[in-house]
């Protein structure tokens, strides 16, 4: 049987091992963190940062809602009925008509440019859409601040 002193010697190793696991994301699915101020999105899978992407959120006069959401609907290709049938590839709806989706206006990523949706480069939108389909809407969180 090991002595108490031996266990005390192992304590720093155990604490280091615990610290190696991310403490901000204990969620086992997909966590999407949207920073409206920085116009960035961070995607965590199983608690580990997998992607960081430039985005565009609501421009002046249009708000991207803050809060924590789960996807309500996924559409491989959607066209906005409200905004001249604009294409919205790889749409992940999270609150009414608000969605995370791809955009072909990639030059505007990194600054506010949308009517409230969260825009991504098409390839990044496809990757996120795939992750949400793989893990499921119930195992996906969208956090917008």
Q: What is the CATH number of the domain that holds 81?
A: 2.40.440.10
Q: What is the pLDDT of residues 14-59, one digit of tens each?
A: 454 444 434 444 678 999 999 999 999 999 999 999 999 999 999 9
- Domain membership flag for residue 37: yes
- Domain membership flag for residue 14: no
If one counts the domains in the chain, the total is 1
pLDDT, position 21: 38
- Domain membership flag for residue 15: no
pLDDT, position 38: 98
- Domain membership flag for residue 114: yes
For 67-115, give the DSSP string.
Answer: EEE---EEEEEEE-TTTTT-EEEEEEEEETTEEEEE-S-GGGTTS--BS
- Domain membership flag for residue 19: no
Confidence of residue 6 (pLDDT cuts 50, 70, 90): low
**Boundaries of domain holding 135:** 26-144
- Domain membership flag for residue 92: yes
* Average confidence (pLDDT) over 110-135: 98
- Domain membership flag for residue 3: no
Model confidence, pTM: 0.80
């Amino acid at each position: 049987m090991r002595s108490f002193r031996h266990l005390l010697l192992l304590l720093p190793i155990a604490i280091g091992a615990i610290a190696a696991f991310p403490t901000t994301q204990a969620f086992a699915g997909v966590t999407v963190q949207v920073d409206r101020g920085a116009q960035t999105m961070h995607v965590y899978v199983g608690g580990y940062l997998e992607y960081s992407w430039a985005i565009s959120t609501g421009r002046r006069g249009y708000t991207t809602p803050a809060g924590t959401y789960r996807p309500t609907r996924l559409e491989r290709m959607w066209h906005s009925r409200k905004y001249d049938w604009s294409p919205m590839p790889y749409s992940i709806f999270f609150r009414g008509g608000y969605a995370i989706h791809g955009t072909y206006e990639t030059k505007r990523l990194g600054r506010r440019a949308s009517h409230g949706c969260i825009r991504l480069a098409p390839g990044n939108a496809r990757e996120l859409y795939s992750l949400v389909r793989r893990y499921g809407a119930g195992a996906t969180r969208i956090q917008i601040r």
